Amino acid sequence: MPIVAIVIWIVLPIGWLPILKNNLQMMNKRYLKIGFIGAGRVADVHYNALQECGEVAQLAAFCDLRPEAVYSRQKEWGVPGFASIATMLDSVQLDAVVALVPHNIHLDVMKKCLERKLPVLLEKPIAAKMEEALEITRLSDEAGVPVLVGHNGLFHPSLDRIVKFVSEGWIGKPLMASAKSLQWLDFRPWDFRKSLEQTGGGAWMDCAGHLIYRLNAILGEVQDVTGFVSHQARDEMEGEDTAIAVLRFASGVIGHAVVSYGCKLPGYEKDWPSGCEQMLMVSGDKGMVEYHICPDPHIRYYTELEGCEIAKPGVWEEVAVDEPFETSFTEQMRHFLECVNGKQKCKVTPMDATRLLKTLLKLYENQEN
């Protein structure tokens, strides 16, 4: 055999070895198998977030009580759908689940998952009632597996910028906070938000948490809550459609939060976030910061102090937020998967989420008549 042929005969296969090895590794790669419990409205954003983390995890199964959701999602996602949680958990070997169901069944879902030692990403709020939240916290501690509660706004990088601006002292001593979330909610035919029992309240219970946990990150815990709830615009729902709360933080900062599912704003007929206005503001004795979450994400900084890298003293500095809103869900999913893989500790524990629920429930307990 000529020498050249011998070299080709030896080198060619050796050249192919890394590719072959790579392919074998890909075939053997162990993706985390994720199950969705609930395939309604918010399942779309979690599905997209999971797709973004496709190098680590894949959706392996889902379940939903509604046969039409099982049918359509099965076609859309290409994974088996089940009619009940127990059937899914008994049929498919999962590594973790994402729970996307009405608030009043969070405890039941958590019992089923935690007795199987399955890590859970549980959507907010942790539960509809305080005793259910405490039980979820107890069961999670006992099971010793990662449980992350879905305070997704904490995972958006824009919030870190605001926390930094305030904690570095550019607004001086924080004095006052204001937050609002206004929209005309597009109820789905099956929407659990129509039911007081399933939601544990109305617009306040469903939506205010997103404002409060962000304020907590900037200003610390809320100590007192009082205010009003009203039900005048949305006959579709049993709970309040509008709420105004007055807050006092443990630090002495005072503030208010306004939430409504009965406000028509431009674009309200289209899907969220169109027609939704969400923002918060924190002011101090030397400056102020406004966080416009939607519809046009941007941050306005003001300080009278010299030396700030973001804002010149004495003038408003407006900075666009480039990362899309969905980033919060993608980063939250990435973090959850790292927790499942033992690389991180959950950033929002059941205990943290129970403290938030306590703040939310205080408005119902203390509302003025």
CB atoms within 10 A of CB 4: 8
Specify the amino acid at residue 49: A
Please provide the DSSP assignment of 47-77 as one string. Answer: HHHHHHTTTTEEEEEEE-S-HHHHHHHHHHH
In the bound complex, what is the minimum distance in angstroms from residue 143's beta carbon to ligand NAD? 20
CB nearer ligand NAD, residue 63 or residue 147:
63
Residue from 33, 52, 58, 65 that binds ligand NAD (CB under 6 A)?
A: 65
Give the start-end residues of each E strand in 151-294.
Answer: 174-182, 222-230, 242-249, 254-260, 277-284, 287-294
Rounded to 5 degrees, φ, ψ at 26 are -60, -45
Q: Residue 314 in contact with residue 304, Cβ under 8 Å?
A: yes
Taking the C-alpha atoms of residue 109 and residue 112, their distance in angstroms, rounded to an integer, is 5
Which of 58-66, 157-165, 235-243, 317-325 is the region at the interface with ligand NAD (rule: CB under 6 A)?
A: 58-66
If you search the block for the tokens 């099965």, which residue do you land on?
Answer: 74
Site string for ligand NAD, 75-94 (x = CB under 6 A): ----------x---------
Residues 100-139 that bind ligand NAD (CB under 6 A): 100-103, 105, 123-124
Nearest approach in angstroms of CB 193 to ligand NAD is: 7
Which region among 33-41, 71-79, 248-256, 344-352 touches ligand NAD (by CB under 6 A)? Answer: 33-41
Cα separation of 5 and 10, whole Å? 9
Shortest reach from residue 157's CB to ligand NAD, in Å: 17
Q: Taking CB under 6 A as the rule, does residue 66 contact ligand NAD?
A: yes
Nearer Cβ to ligand NAD (191/304): 191
> Using the rule CB under 6 A, is 190 a contact of ligand NAD?
yes
Work out how close the CB of 330 gets to ligand NAD at its nearest, in angstroms, rounded to a whole number. Answer: 13
CA distance 327 to 149: 17
Residues in touch with ligand NAD (CB under 6 A): 37-43, 63-66, 69, 85, 100-103, 105, 123-124, 150, 152, 188, 190-192, 206
